[in-house]
Structure 1
Amino acid sequence: MTAREVIVYADADAVAQATAARVLLKIGDTLAHRDRVDVVVTGGTVGIATLAAAASSPLASAIDWTDVHIWWGDERFVAAGDADRNEGQAQSALLASLPLPEENIHRMGAAGEFESAEDAARAYAREYADAGSPAFDVLMLGLGPDGHVASLFPGHPGYGDASAPVIAVHDSPKPPPTRVSLSLETINAALEVWVVAAGAAKAEVVARCVHGDTELPGAAVSGAERTLWLIDAAAATRI
């Protein structure tokens, strides 16, 4: 497990703006050396604010988006177009404004398209394998108040499920109950894992994660090369 680097910003807006700039610079720098970048985006308040900040950044126009592939860490297994789906929020906040080829946007399957979350998980695992099972260059995660990341929840069977790179999650303690998620093993194969969190309500769980309480999925995630915690001052008060 790589050491956690904790970077504290003034407030939630500063976290979003700085993380957006950071990911755009990371994409540009990587493309200077390689012809492909794979990025995993996240939902949540700060995650979507980060995507919106990236959309409005002048740095976005300097990137050749035809070489960028977008993935998700998890998705709610509800119908396509449902407001609960992370991909719809990401589409509105960022993806619709970018010259990204549709085949570069790797959306997780929706209810109605697949009979079960297991079918959607297997399809996403095949898509990931067909892409060469890339080590994601950046994998962004939000942090729930219970310490969950993606759809890996503390005390839930999915947290320790290493049976497949992408798993179905049932009976999620946070609605909607049925989801699809990257496994912890797949998350930790990413080159860089970034956890974004903001607000005083997250302070205790951030402290537990940063200090390594592995009962919490947020404490167990780690990039192969770098692990960043990008948080605001209110979320840092208990560290």
Structure 2
Amino acid sequence: MSPERLVLVYDDRAGLASAVAARFYETIGGILETKPVAHIVFTGGTVGGEILAAIGASGQRDSLDWSRVELWWGDERWLPAGDPERNDTLADDGLLAGLVAQGLLAPARIHRLPASDGPLDLDAAAGSYAAELSRSARKGEPVPDFDLLFLGVGPDGHVASLFPEYDGIRVTEPTVVAVRNSPKPPPERLSLTLPAINRADRVWLCLAGADKAPALGLALAGANTVEVPVAGVSGRVRTIFFLDRDAAAEVPPELLADDGTTA
């Protein structure tokens, strides 16, 4: 059976974030009914931050068994720990700090990518995170069985820190790549590779704004992955594009789905 792809459209960013948060609890709750642990990969970006805040503000937050959740990141900016531009800082502010403070989530289950003020250089940091992923995976597998992986998409079609025509989008091994000379600041980053991303069962791509519409249109039309990285993203079970109406401007109507499908 081929993986399923859905395109869901909401009136605005607030509606998008609220819908993703509700579906998050439905999906992870269902996973935890069948598995002892759920592995989730977070993303950064403005929309990603709004979604994490909506997850944190949800009335369902305290009913989820966070002690059975392992959290990872798809990419990170090579900045000092706690820097406001880091993706994990965004997640702390919107969701994680509250969970940890209330004892709902142990810090050991939050797998942060290394920071620039730590003991490792950029290449060693990539290797360290790849090793951490491997240690949490089933024997012989390079990464855990990611149940849900979030991604944002840039106006140029980049995902995580895999940019068009850059070396990172071409890397197949290892699972984590050191990124230099990024076309958007900061220039140094860490990122999962595309094969690692595509090992997730469910990939949720969350886009808002008219500047995202052209890249999304190209991706859905089957563009070359090196030129439009988002075109190469595919979850093993399901891939869902969550869009506001501006981002959906170039999506053919026949690709749109109703927001009633179990994720």
TM-score (norm 1): 0.97
| 2:120 corresponds to 1:115 | yes
- With 42-51 and 205-214 compared, the bigger mean Cα shift is at 205-214
Aligned to 1:236: 248
Matches of 1:115 and 1:58, distance apart in 2: 39
Q: What does 1:53-92 correspond to in 2, within 5 Å?
A: 53-92=54-93
| 2:136 corresponds to 1:131 | yes
| 2:35 corresponds to 1:34 | yes
Aligned to 2:94: 93
**Deviation by residue 1:106-161 (Cα, 9 ceiling, x = unmatched):** 00000121432111111111111111121210000000011000000000001111
- With 107-116 and 166-175 compared, the bigger mean Cα shift is at 107-116
Q: SS of the counterpart of 1:175?
A: coil
> Cα distance, 1:3 vs. partner?
4.4
Aligned to 1:12: 13
Equivalent residues of 1:5, 1:229 under 8 A apart: yes
Q: SS of the counterpart of 1:58?
A: coil
Aligned to 1:189: 199
Aligned to 1:178: 188
> Cα distance, 1:163 vs. partner?
2.2
Matches of 1:52 and 1:114, distance apart in 2: 31
Matches of 2:5 and 2:124, distance apart in 1: 35
Percent identity over the alignment? Answer: 44
> Unpaired segments of 5 or more residues in structure 2?
138-142, 252-263
For 1:36, the aligned partner's letter is V
Equivalent residues of 2:4, 2:237 under 8 A apart: no
Aligned to 1:153: 163
Aligned to 2:179: 169
Equivalent residues of 1:25, 1:59 under 8 A apart: no
For 2:245, the aligned partner's letter is A
Matches of 1:114 and 1:169, distance apart in 2: 18
**Deviation by residue 1:180-224 (Cα, 9 ceiling, x = unmatched):** 000000000100111000111211111111222122111111001
Matches of 1:163 and 1:40, distance apart in 2: 19
Matches of 1:147 and 1:114, distance apart in 2: 33
Root-mean-square deviation (Å): 1.1
> Unpaired segments of 5 or more residues in structure 1?
none
Matches of 1:58 and 1:234, distance apart in 2: 29
Equivalent residues of 1:196, 1:230 under 8 A apart: yes
The correspondence for 1:223, drawn from 216, 230, 235, is 235
TM-score (norm 2): 0.88
Q: SS of the counterpart of 1:91?
A: helix
> Cα distance, 1:103 vs. partner?
0.8
Equivalent residues of 1:194, 1:228 under 8 A apart: yes
Equivalent residues of 1:151, 1:180 under 8 A apart: yes
Which consecutive aligned stretches of 4+ in structure 1 deviate over 3 angstroms post-superposition? none
Q: SS of the counterpart of 1:106?
A: coil
Equivalent residues of 2:205, 2:240 under 8 A apart: yes
For 2:27, the aligned partner's letter is K
Matches of 2:6 and 2:132, distance apart in 1: 31
> Cα distance, 1:60 vs. partner?
1.3
